[in-house]
Structure 1
Amino acid sequence: MNILIIGGGGVIGQKLGRALAARGELRGKVISGITLADIVDPARIPGSAVPVKTVVCNIADPASVAKCVTADVDVIYLLAAVVSAHAEEDLDAGLSINMMGTLNVLQHARALGTRPVLVFTSSIAVNGGEVPQPFTDYTGLNPQTSYGAQKAIGELLVTDFSRRGLIDGRGFRLPTISIRPGKPNRAASGFMSSIFREPLQGRTANCPVSSDFNHYYLSPRKCVENLIKGAELPAEALGLNRCMPMPGRVWTIRQMIDAMTAVAGSGPARLISWEKQPGLDLILDGWRMDIRADKAESLGLEADASFEDNIRYFLEDDLPGA
């Protein structure tokens, strides 16, 4: 069993690679190798009993994709993307990576002729606008950002390539993943990690929305667990609709800060400022959060029990000794 993680240099890609290496098997088979691919050479996974290699891959370049989507690959995780605010600021970058890059990976997976399992990370940004809530597994896609539109196109391609028997695809609309470790990225939702990540390390952070702003969240730990479960689902369990929301929970900013205080005391919350960010409302106004992930939950994927758990996971996984 050979696994390719495209986007293997990112937070989720790195965590997924480490989890799979520690697990040692997937879909009932021993993992013989893991390849981490990204636009820059991903960090290595030290001490792994499973052979792990890294490669540079630009999914916007078909020739680059051909070097990593090779005949020995059994499972492909397609995590790479230009994130929301970046895709909104730079339409061409979003089209190149999120739309054409996804098509490049699908075309090379198709060319293998082996019908590899392909796990595609989509986004809750495919929903929005005037479509009535709640959003269910069968709500029509109505993205309100370029990023959401590009992810919606990817979903349709994954489903169609699977219908044709070219791949065994499955796509999951990720909630906002919080708390993400490391440096801030250009996602519009980035502040939903920074207002916890920075204060928990004694640094200031700004919240550009009001305390009653609510959103749909999942911890990195649960996201990785769900991506592994998602790869193991048999094709017949997925049915005709191959893409679905990943389970998450809806909390307000105030509830999340209260959860941080319950776990880490009152000090971190005092490091949060509250100033609006110009232009952010144009993106946030298109988001809708009443999401029902019934299908994924019936297939065994799970949300966090509480945001206190998200805080604890961050302290345990990303700030050892905190």
Structure 2
Amino acid sequence: MNILITGGSGFLGARLARTLLAQGSLALAGAPAQPIQRVVLVDRVAPPADLAADARVQPLLGDLGEQLAAGALPLADVQAVFHLAAAVSGECEADFDLGMRSNLDATRQLLEGCRRAGHAPVFVFSSSVAVFGDSPEQRLPEVIEDTTLPTPQNSYGIQKFIGEQLVADYTRKGFVQGRNVRLMTVSVRPGRPNGAASSFLSGMLREPLAGERARCPVAPETAVALSSPGNTVRGIIRASTASSTEWGARTAVNLPALTTTVGEMAQALERVAGKEATALIDWEPDAQIAKIITSWPSRFQPKRAQALGLAADESFEAILRDYVRENPQAVKLAVKG
């Protein structure tokens, strides 16, 4: 079996690739498991050294849209496509054309490439909680269910929702076996901040653990829906293995979310690394970021995901301790317990 991952050198793409390679096989769409022979990582940057050293990994470097236009992706030879590449929320608000090119145009080009390949590969599209947005004109319900109407309030959410509909229609036409999954905000991400409005939901923990100051632009009582990196990848892989009967409707599946508040996240940090860590958080409001974050829902009832055997993380403290265990080189403060 050959697999292609867009955004394959990024944080989630690399973690997905490592997980699949460690498994060694994959049971696509309910079929018997097949050995994984090749994983194609499409990205602007080279993959991490451990992935580059794996003989099963084939990096393809360059702009996704340009590679698709040139016919450079081996779509005729892959059985599964994981489409993770995207411009993130803050970037899309700052640069409308970037968001449209990266999140809408590239998604349609990729679907067209799969259509031309002619064998209906499994196509997992990483959508987002940002397809839901609250507004005075159309309030969100207290709890988001699988049938709740998406009402995006920013360019990123709108582009992701359009992508879901494209995947659904290409599935209806038999061009791909589509699996739309709505990811929650992933925390704690290692590395440096990115352009997402939600980037601080990792930075306010990651930077203090490294002995550096971090800014939190929203109030402590702000509620958020989170998922750990590991739980997010489990959900993405489970989408690829679900049979059409298990998956059900062509609409997107909301992955399970841990509901917490930003203040509770800071409390978890204090339990893990003490007051020295929380003293490094600067609570500096940013109205633009707060507007985006508070428009997103924080409570979900993901019955379809639960039927697939997926569950939310146990607690944010557990997520934080997983980050410390997985990234010891990035933690400079003493950790309790």
What range is the shorter-chain TM-score in? over 0.9
Say if 2:109 is the partner of 1:101.
no
Say if 2:227 is the partner of 1:218.
yes
Deviation of residue 160 (structure 1)? 1.0
Say if 2:140 is the partner of 1:132.
yes
Task: Rate the CA distance shift 1:45–1:79 in 2: closer, same or farther, 3 A.
Answer: same
How do 1:252-263 residues align onto structure 2 when only pairs under 5 Å count?
252-263=261-272
Q: Deviations over 1:75-103 (max 9, x none)?
A: 10000000001001111110111011110
More deviation in 270-279 or 307-316? Answer: 270-279
Contact kept in structure 1, 2:5 and 2:82, CA below 8 Å: yes
CA distance in 2, matches of 1:298, 1:275: 41
2:250 to 221, 237, 241: 241
Contact kept in structure 1, 2:132 and 2:151, CA below 8 Å: yes
Q: Deviations over 1:80-134 (max 9, x none)?
A: 0000010011111101110111101111011111110011100011012324312
- 2:157 aligned residue: 148
- 1:85 aligned residue: 90
CA distance in 2, matches of 1:113, 1:96: 25
1:67 to 35, 58, 72: 72
Contact kept in structure 1, 2:210 and 2:330, CA below 8 Å: no
Say if 2:194 is the partner of 1:185.
yes
- 2:335 aligned residue: none
The residue matched to 1:35 in structure 2 has which SS? strand
Q: What percent of counterpart residues are identical?
A: 36
- 1:277 aligned residue: 286
Letter in 2 for 1:19: T
More deviation in 12-21 or 57-66? Answer: 57-66
CA distance in 1, matches of 2:318, 2:59: 32
Q: Deviations over 1:273-316 (max 9, x none)?
A: 11112522332342222222111111112221110111011112
Contact kept in structure 1, 2:225 and 2:297, CA below 8 Å: no
CA distance in 2, matches of 1:49, 1:42: 11
Contact kept in structure 2, 1:58 and 1:64, CA below 8 Å: no
- 1:22 aligned residue: 22
The residue matched to 1:71 in structure 2 has which SS? helix
More deviation in 72-81 or 228-237? Answer: 228-237
CA distance in 2, matches of 1:314, 1:290: 23
CA distance in 2, matches of 1:232, 1:65: 30
Say if 2:52 is the partner of 1:41.
no
CA distance in 2, matches of 1:53, 1:187: 28
Runs of 4+ in 1 over 6 A off after TM superposition: none
Deviation of residue 217 (structure 1)? 0.2
Say if 2:212 is the partner of 1:203.
yes
Contact kept in structure 1, 2:217 and 2:290, CA below 8 Å: no
Structure 2 spans left out of the alignment, 5+ residues: 28-32, 332-337
Say if 2:320 is the partner of 1:317.
no
Deviation of residue 69 (structure 1)? 4.0
CA distance in 2, matches of 1:18, 1:64: 28
Deviation of residue 267 (structure 1)? 2.0
CA distance in 1, matches of 2:311, 2:20: 18
The residue matched to 2:275 in structure 1 has which SS? coil
Deviation of residue 245 (structure 1)? 0.8
The residue matched to 2:269 in structure 1 has which SS? helix
- 1:267 aligned residue: 276
Contact kept in structure 2, 1:162 and 1:168, CA below 8 Å: yes
The residue matched to 1:311 in structure 2 has which SS? helix
- 1:110 aligned residue: 115
Letter in 2 for 1:11: F
How many residue pairs match? The answer is: 322
TM-score (norm 2): 0.91
- 2:307 aligned residue: 298
Contact kept in structure 2, 1:69 and 1:105, CA below 8 Å: no
Q: CA RMSD in A?
A: 1.8
TM-score (norm 1): 0.95
Contact kept in structure 2, 1:2 and 1:72, CA below 8 Å: yes
